[in-house]
Homo-oligomer: A and B are copies of this chain.
Amino acid sequence: MSRSMITLTTDFGGGSPYVAQIKGVILSIQPQAVLIDMTHAVSPQNVRQATLVLEDVTPRFPEGSIHVAVVDPGVGTDRRLLAAEIGGRYYIAPDNGLLGRLVGSVPAARVVALTQRGYWLPVVSATFHGRDIMAPVAAHLSLGAALEDFGEPCDRLTQLAWPQVEVEKNRLQGEILAIDSFGNLITNISQDLLAAGAADSAAVQCGGRTISGLADTYGRHTPGTLIALVGSSNRLEIAVVNGSAAVELRAEVGDAVSVTLTP
């Protein structure tokens, strides 16, 4: 159990001095903390995108690691701030949907609402609770404070609307969840759903194009080929080999993707 690792996920943008302020506050309280930038490239106020990062990436970190997520358009209102222990890892985030799915997926998750001001900075601004509340709570958690020290247990977390895959007979109807820096289109269609059919029978439709069959990987096809494959997070992805599917299909998050399977 290494509680010294603290990751940061924000929508502050790469190189934001706001991130540096959070780091300073954590290190002032817990100089031994090992700070890791998870990502600061979440688009502004995009809670879903941050949730996806937490879900895909935090399980790769060791038990005891602490994950702070500051995507917080409701800062300064009466939205709650949460600290949670989910599957042996710790999370600190606003109650705006960021943790709803993660907590829901682990029955034994524990969650508290942050109310104990003794663990906050003495002066709390109205617009930057990431620095003034979440950062010091993360530092004290790293120093060994118990989750329950920060506030009362709470449940009924805010749940984010999440696009569900429609499953009809031999057809899956999903959508683009995210686009990565290569322009790969990452869908909400999981490997499990695809397993119902043979890989070479799948016909994937997106942006007016149809892709026949699933590829194993990028490099087995000619550069420029449009392919569909199961990506490294077990989701159906659409890619252009050595190119950008986002550009070629003019695709955006939320666009429809369907798969026809022959069982």
Contacts and interface: CB of A to CB of B under 8 A. Distances in A.
Interface stretch (A100-108, A126-134, A201-209): A126-134
Interface string A204-238: 00000000000011111000000001011000000
A79 B219 contact: yes
A125 interface: yes
A190 interface: no
| A interface SS class | loop
Contacts of A5: 27, 31
A14 B15 contact: yes
Instruction: Give the most central of A27, A45, A127: most B CB within 10 Å.
Output: A127
Interface in A44-83: 44-45, 52-53, 56-62, 65, 73-77, 79
A210 to B, nearest CB: 22
A180 B229 CA distance: 35
Given A41-B15, A44-B182, A242-B44, A60 B28 contact: yes
Instruction: Work out how many copies of this chain go into the complex.
Output: 3
A21 B37 CA distance: 11
A41 B14 CA distance: 8
A131 B232 contact: yes
Contact of A16 (B7, B20, B36, B181): B181
Contact of A127 (B38, B41, B232, B242): B232
A75 B219 contact: yes
Contacts of A17: 38-39, 52-53, 56-57
B125 A232 contact: yes
Contacts of A75: 217-219
Contacts of A127: 217-218, 229, 231-232
Contacts of A181: 12-13, 16, 44
Given A20-B39, A126-B229, 11 more contacts: A13-B182, A16-B39, A21-B56, A21-B232, A28-B60, A44-B182, A45-B242, A60-B131, A76-B220, A77-B217, A128-B232
Interface of A: 2, 5, 7, 12-18, 20-21, 23-25, 27-28, 31, 34-41, 44-45, 52-53, 56-62, 65, 73-77, 79, 125-128, 131-132, 180-182, 216-220, 229, 231-232, 241-242
